[in-house]
A and B are shown apart, each in its own frame.
Chain A
Amino acid sequence: MLPDDALDRLVDGSNQIANLCRQNKIEQWEIIAMQSYGHQLDIEAGKISLAAGGGEGGYGIRVIEDGKFGYAHLVDLKSADNAIKQALSIARISPSIKGFSLPSSQETEEVKGLFDKRILSVGPEELLQQADSILSEVSSLDKRAVVTGGGLGVSATAGVLTSSEGIDHHGITTSHGLGVQVSIDENDQLTSSWQGESSKKLIDKVPNCIASSVDWAQKTRDPIKVDSGAEDLPVLMTSEGLGSLFSIVVSSAIRGERLTRMESFWSGKQGEQVLANDLTLIDNARMEGGSSSSSRDGEGVPTQRQVIVDSGKLVGSLWSTRDSAKLVAEGKIDKASTTGSASRGGHQSPPVTTCSNLELISSSKSSSIDELLERMDSGYIVNSVMGAHTANPTSGDFSVTTSSILRVQEGEVIGAIKQAGLSGNMAKALTKDVFLGDDVRVSGGSMHIPDILLMQGLRVNPI
Chain B
Amino acid sequence: MVLAKSPIEDAYDNARRYLDEEKIRSALQEASDFGASYAEVRLVSITDSSVATRDGQLERAIPGQEVGATMRVLANGAWGVHSTTDIESIPSQVESTVRLAKAVAERRSSKDKPVSLADVPIIEDSVHWIPEKDVRVTELEEKLDLLNVLYENSKDDKKIASVICGWHDEHIHTEFMSSEGMNRVWSFQRSLINATVTARDGSDVVSYRTRHGGEGGLELIEQCDLATLGSDAKTSAIRLLKAERSPSGKLPLVADRDLTGVYIHEALGHPCEADLVAAGDSCLDGKLGQKIGNDIVTVIDDPTIRGGYGAHPIDDEGLDTKEKCLIKNGVLTDYLNHRESAHHFGIEPNAGARAQDGLHHPLVRMSNTLIKGGTHNDLDELIEDIEYGVYACGSRGGQVDTGRGSFQFAAQEAWLIENGSITTPLKDVSVSGLTLQILKDVDGLTTDSRLAAPGFCGKGQTVPVGDGGPIMRIKEALVG
Interface residues of A (CB under 8 A from B): 41, 44-58, 69-76, 78-79, 82-83, 86-87, 89-90, 93-95, 124-125, 128, 132, 146, 148-149, 181, 183, 185, 190-192, 229-230, 261-265, 267-268, 348-350, 386-387, 389-390, 392, 394-395, 397-401, 403, 419, 421-423, 459, 461, 463
Q: A51 and B279: CB pair below 8 A?
A: no
Contact of B96 among A48, A53, A79, A230 (CB under 8 A): A53
Q: A183 and B60: CB pair below 8 A?
A: no
Q: B428 and A387: CB pair below 8 A?
A: no
- If A53-B81, A76-B7 touch, whether A399 touches B361 (CB-CB below 8 Å) is no
CB neighbors of A among B347-391 (8 A): 359, 361
CB neighbors of A among B253-278 (8 A): 275, 278
Shortest CB distance B376–A (Å): 28
Q: B64 and A73: CB pair below 8 A?
A: yes
- If A48-B104, A51-B80, A95-B57 touch, whether A263 touches B280 (CB-CB below 8 Å) is no
* Cα of A65 to Cα of B57 in the assembled complex, Å: 17
Q: A403 and B205: CB pair below 8 A?
A: no
* Cα of A427 to Cα of B154 in the assembled complex, Å: 28
Q: A128 and B107: CB pair below 8 A?
A: yes
Q: B480 and A423: CB pair below 8 A?
A: yes
Interface residues of B (CB under 8 A from A): 6-8, 57-58, 60-68, 70, 78-86, 89, 93, 96-97, 100-101, 103-104, 107-109, 112, 140-141, 144, 161-162, 198, 200, 203-207, 246, 248-249, 275, 278-281, 283, 359, 361, 396-401, 403-404, 406-410, 427-430, 432, 434, 478-480
Q: A95 and B408: CB pair below 8 A?
A: no
* Cα of A401 to Cα of B67 in the assembled complex, Å: 39
Q: B85 and A75: CB pair below 8 A?
A: yes
Q: Which residues of A contact B141 (CB under 8 A)?
A: 93
Closest A-B pairs by Cβ, 4 of them: A421-B480, A390-B410, A230-B248, A399-B430
Q: Which residues of B contact A73 (CB under 8 A)?
A: 62-66
Q: Which residues of B contact A397 (CB under 8 A)?
A: 427-428
- If A76-B6, A128-B103 touch, whether A94 touches B82 (CB-CB below 8 Å) is no
Q: B207 and A392: CB pair below 8 A?
A: yes
- If A183-B281, A263-B162 touch, whether A86 touches B432 (CB-CB below 8 Å) is no
Q: Which residues of A contact B480 (CB under 8 A)?
A: 230, 399, 401, 421-423, 459, 461
Contact of A71 among B60, B396, B399 (CB under 8 A): B60
- If A263-B162, A390-B398 touch, whether A419 touches B205 (CB-CB below 8 Å) is no
Q: A90 and B205: CB pair below 8 A?
A: no
15 sampled A-B residue pairs with Cβ under 8 A? A47-B112, A49-B279, A51-B101, A52-B82, A56-B68, A71-B60, A73-B62, A76-B6, A79-B8, A89-B140, A128-B107, A263-B162, A392-B396, A399-B480, A421-B248
Shortest CB distance A57–B (Å): 6
Q: Which residues of B contact A148 (CB under 8 A)?
A: 279-281, 403
Q: B430 and A400: CB pair below 8 A?
A: yes
Residue in chain B with minimal CB distance to A423: B480
Q: A53 and B82: CB pair below 8 A?
A: yes
Residue in chain B with minimal CB distance to A132: B107
- If A399-B430, A421-B432 touch, whether A387 touches B58 (CB-CB below 8 Å) is no
Q: B80 and A229: CB pair below 8 A?
A: no
Residue in chain B with minimal CB distance to A390: B410
* Cα of A397 to Cα of B430 in the assembled complex, Å: 11
Q: A55 and B85: CB pair below 8 A?
A: yes
* Cα of A55 to Cα of B203 in the assembled complex, Å: 48
Q: A386 and B399: CB pair below 8 A?
A: yes
Residue in chain A with minimal CB distance to B81: A52
Q: A149 and B281: CB pair below 8 A?
A: yes
Q: B62 and A128: CB pair below 8 A?
A: no
Contact of B61 among A70, A423, A459 (CB under 8 A): A70
Q: Which residues of A contact B410 (CB under 8 A)?
A: 387, 390, 399
